[in-house]
């Protein structure tokens, strides 16, 4: 007579999973087709968080007498209760199938029939199937949570659910730590109402979270060539800039590869022009200090050289909001261009 039935499911510590009801349904579906060797067998799962913010699931199977038949310890990514429920369900189904096969083997039947010619007092021969299972499984039951299983149970171990690396997302982020780096770059710039300017720019990159990086910087530059034919008159420019960036990773091992930073920000600063003799073109007769303000995007291609050192090539485009003008020594009106831009090569050092 077939006394098998589906095992009873017990889900413990549902507070560890916000969707424990859904996860429990997945576990029931995974074990629905399995049959226990006897009545009142139980598949128990307990899910709890660990100190490193992952999840740990402990699966246990007991028979009708409460004896521990098998147990398993699995770990998973934060919040992946559904994946752990499926893994425990697959494991439990394999263990129950193996136990049923063991209970129906000739060795098990011989154990149930007892010594040759013996007869039980109620007229049946030998012990029941459940008693035979308890005799075969001689390991002493231990506390729930031990990561072992019965040696006679043969089944493939479920795959460990590993936490995906930050590069698996379309933007780069670090859950366990925040990036902080400092750097300095050299740049060429145009669009400040003078000729081409060259300068340097120190900066800091701070990871704010959710793939967002903040990049405050300072910049100081001087005109490459004199502004007028009469004398060594040059312009000086200085500004502070603040960018908000999204860092897109390449397919590479962490700290070994290329990244693309897409940013948007604003420059606020001053342009200083020295005076020139009357009749000089391109420069004012008197000293002029003009405001400078622009907003626009920037793109940075950043290569990690290994360790903590990186090199970057950066392009910045800006719409000049402040557009002051002046009269040069010949009386011609000189206006600030609508657009400004600069290209920069930088080295940075990662502090963490």
Query: What is d(CA 199, CA 191) in angstroms, rounded to the nearest whole number?
Result: 14
Is residue 170 packed enough to be buried (19+ CB in 10 Å), middle (13-18) or exposed (0-12)?
Answer: exposed
* Average pLDDT for the chain: 75
Question: When comparing pLDDT for 17 and 98, which is higher?
Answer: 98
Residues in CB range of 149: below 8 A, 6 or more apart: 70, 71, 72, 95
Q: Is the pLDDT of residue 70 over 90?
A: no
Highest mean pLDDT among 77-81, 292-296, 303-307: 292-296
Q: In the structure, what pLDDT confidence band is assigned to residue 6 with cuts at 50, 70 and 90? A: confident
Q: To 5 degrees, how large is the angle CA 148–CA 164–CA 204?
A: 135
What the chain holds in terms of domains, given with CATH numbers, is: 8-163 (no CATH), 168-350 (2.40.160.20)
Identify the pLDDT of residue 131. 30
CA atoms within 13 A on the CB side of 262: 7
- Angle at which helix 106-113 crosses helix 129-136, to 10 degrees, equals 110
177 pLDDT band, cuts 50/70/90, is low
Average pLDDT over residues 152-173: 49
- pLDDT, tens digit, for every residue of 333-342? 888 899 999 9
Buried b / exposed e across 69-96, counting CB within 10 Å, b at 16+? bbbbebbbeeebbbbbbbbbbbbbbbbb
Most confident of 154-163, 224-233, 249-258, 273-282: 224-233
Whether the predicted pLDDT of 291 surpasses 80:
yes
Residue 112 has pLDDT above 90, yes or no: no
Q: What is the pTM of this model?
A: 0.50
- pLDDT at 78 > cutoff 70: yes
Give me the pLDDT at residue 153, please: 40
How do residues 236-279 score in pLDDT, each as one tens digit?
999 999 999 988 766 455 555 678 889 999 999 998 887 666 66
């Amino acid at each position: 007579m077939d006394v098998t039935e589906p095992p009873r499911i017990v889900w413990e510590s549902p507070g560890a999973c916000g969707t424990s009801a859904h996860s429990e349904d997945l576990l029931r579906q995974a074990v629905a087709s399995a049959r226990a060797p006897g009545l009142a067998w139980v598949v128990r799962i307990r899910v709890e968080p660990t100190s490193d913010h992952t999840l740990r699931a402990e699966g246990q199977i007991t028979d009708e007498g409460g004896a521990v038949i098998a147990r398993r310890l699995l770990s998973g990514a934060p919040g992946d209760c559904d994946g752990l429920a499926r893994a425990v369900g697959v494991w439990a189904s394999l263990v129950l199938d193996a136990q049923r096969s063991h209970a129906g083997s000739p060795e098990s039947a011989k154990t149930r029939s007892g010594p040759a010619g013996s007869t039980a007092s109620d007229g049946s021969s030998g012990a029941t199937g459940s008693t035979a299972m308890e005799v075969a499984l001689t390991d002493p039951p231990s506390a729930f949570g031990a990561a072992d299983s019965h040696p006679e149970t043969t089944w493939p171990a479920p795959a460990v659910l590993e936490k995906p690396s930050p590069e698996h997302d379309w933007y780069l982020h670090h859950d366990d730590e925040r990036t902080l780096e400092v750097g300095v770059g050299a740049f060429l710039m145009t669009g400040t109402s003078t000729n081409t300017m060259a300068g340097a720019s120190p900066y800091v990159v701070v990871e704010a979270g959710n793939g967002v990086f903040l990049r405050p910087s300072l910049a100081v530059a001087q005109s490459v060539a004199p502004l007028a034919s009469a004398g060594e008159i040059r312009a000086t420019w200085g500004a502070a800039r603040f960018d908000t960036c999204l860092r897109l990773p390449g397919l590479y091992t962490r700290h070994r590869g290329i990244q693309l930073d897409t940013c948007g920000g604003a420059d606020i600063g001053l342009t200083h022009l020295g005076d020139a003799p009357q009749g000089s073109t391109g420069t004012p007769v008197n000293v002029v200090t003009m405001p400078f303000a622009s907003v626009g995007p920037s793109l940075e291609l950043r290569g990690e050289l290994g360790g903590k050192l990186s090199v970057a090539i950066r392009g910045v485009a800006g719409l000049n909001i402040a557009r002051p003008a002046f009269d040069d020594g010949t009386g011609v009106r000189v206006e600030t261009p609508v657009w400004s831009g600069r290209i920069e090569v930088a080295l940075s050092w990662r502090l963490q």
